[in-house]
Amino acid sequence: MSIQTLEFRGLPAFRLALPEGDAVVVARHGAQVLSWVSGGDERIYLSPQAMMDGHSAIRGGVPICFPQFNQRGPLPKHGFVRNMPWQLEERDAPAGELALVLHDGDATRAFWPHAFRAELRVALQPRTLRVTLTVDNTGSAPWNFAAALHTYLRVDEIADVRLEGLQGANRWDAVRDDRHVEMAPALRFDGEFDSVYTSPAQGLRLVQPGATLAIKQSASCTETVVWNPGAQLSAKLADMPDDGYRHMLCVEAARIDEPVQLQGGAQWKGWQELTLA
C-alpha cells in the first residue's frame, strides 16, 4: 500500500487509501489530518475559509496542541507544532499507516528551549481511524507539557447531534466558568459549548441521523474537550463561515489539567480512535 504525495487546497500533503474506499489526508504543515473519508462520506470538518498558507493555524481537521493547550501558558495559543513543517517518516511503516515527525531545532527553540522528538502516526482500517501522538524527551533534563488532539468532527446539523458517554464525569464549563458533575445522559448543542471533562473509560458515541461514531482515547489523555462555537462566536471567526458551527463538533483527546513531566530519555504516547459504527 503506497502513500501518495499531493497538494490539498494548496498545501503539501500525504494521502493513504484502502481498497475498501477509506482514505485519510495529512498535511506536512503541523502534521494535521485534513480529511478522513469512511463509509463514502467525509467525517472530518475542515472550514472552507481555513487559512491554507503554510504559516497560519488551520481551522478544522485534527490540529496538534503541544506543548501548551489553548492560552494556558506563555507560548502561542495551543503551542507551536501545529504551525511547523513536519517530515514524512522514511522508515517502513506497517500497512495502513503513515507517520510524520518533528525534531527540535532553531525554529522550535525560538519558542521552547527543549530537546524533543514528536511523531504523529495515523493508522487507517476500514471504518476506523486512529491518530497517535508520541513525544520523546531527547535531552537529559526533564520538562513539562500539555497536549491535545483537537479533532473537528463533521456533522450534518449540530441541532440533530447528541454525544453520549459523559454522564458522571467531572466538567469544567468554560463558557460559564463553572465546575460540576455532568448529569445529562447525552449532550445536545444549542449555543456556544466549551467544556473540559474527565475522560470516561468506556468511550463516547456521537449520534446523528444516519451515522454513529464511536470515540475512544488512551488513558494517558486524562481529559476530553468538547467544543462548538455556536452562532455568535462562529460569526466572529474570520476563518469559519457564519454557519460553520452547524456542521462541526470538536471532541478532543487531551492532557491538560495535570501536565506530563517527561524525564530525559522518556516517552509519552496519547491516541484517539474513531470508528464508524
Convert the pLDDT of each residue in 209-242 to its tens digit: 999 999 999 999 999 999 999 999 999 999 999 9
The question of whether 150 is a catalytic residue gets the answer yes
CA nearest neighbour of 153 among 213, 218, 219, 236: 213
Give the per-residue pLDDT at 135: 98
**Residue 76 reports pLDDT greater than 90:** no
E strands present in 2-95: 4-8, 11-17, 23-27, 33-38, 41-42, 64-65, 87-88
Cis peptide before 67 (omega within 30 of 0): yes
Alpha-carbon gap, residue 103 to 78, rounded angstroms? 18
Work out the average pLDDT over 38-56. 97
Domain range for 203? 4-276
**Residue 1 reports pLDDT greater than 90:** no
Total count of domains within the chain: 1
Alpha-carbon separation of residue 49 from 6, 186, 229 (angstroms): 20, 31, 15
The question of whether 119 is a catalytic residue gets the answer no
Alpha-carbon gap, residue 202 to 191, rounded angstroms? 27
- Which of 97, 182, 252, 273 is catalytic? The answer is 252
**Residue 97 reports pLDDT greater than 90:** yes
What are 104's three cell numbers? 527540535
- Which of 78, 114, 150, 247 is catalytic? The answer is 150
Residues 60 and 248: beta-carbon distance below 8 Å: yes
CATH number at residue 199: 2.70.98.10
User: pTM above the 0.85 mark?
Assistant: yes
**Residue 33, strand partner residues:** 26, 62
Work out the average pLDDT over 5-28. 97
Residue type, 103: H
Confidence of residue 81 (pLDDT cuts 50, 70, 90): very high
